[in-house]
Amino acid sequence: MRDEDIARSAHGTRYVERLFTQEEQDYVDSHPYTAQRFLAGRFSAREAVVKLLDLDDAAAPWIDIVLEGIRPVSVSLNGAVSAKALSLGIGEILLSIDYGRSTVIAVAAADARKELVADESARQVT
């Protein structure tokens, strides 16, 4: 049984839906051999952004941290997460994910030098 299936059976689909976008879930379903590594990287990346923004990780809307691409991975924010970044003067979040044999590490850095780019309807930071 895959780790993703174990997580789904132990915590239900709510757990997976809370942490990963539908696109990420679809990717995992179509790439079973790299799914564990992919999800670990995505989780680690979101956790790095949560810590960067000093969000309460229990209450943070994790899927409002949108990760796009594989290499490189870009970050865009929605909702309350975007509002928090804007309030901190963050114009861009730079992200690095590194995969070891049995570990994944992600580092998120804020770039306040870039002009803030926000879609007023979505309150999105890119």
Q: How far apart are CA 74 and CA 124, in angstroms?
A: 13
pTM above 0.85, yes or no: no
Q: For the packed helices 35-52 and 22-30, what is the interaxial angle rounded to 10 degrees?
A: 160
Q: What is the pLDDT of residue 47?
A: 92
CA-closest candidate to residue 66, choices 81, 86, 85 = 81
Q: What is the pLDDT of residue 22?
A: 83
Q: pLDDT tens for the chain, 126 residues: list them.
A: 455 555 555 556 777 777 888 888 888 888 877 788 888 898 899 999 999 998 876 667 888 899 988 778 889 998 888 988 988 888 889 999 998 888 899 999 998 765 544 444 444 455
CB 83 within 8 A of CB 123: yes
CA torsion 86-90-94-97 (nearest 10°) is -60
Q: What is the pLDDT of residue 21?
A: 82
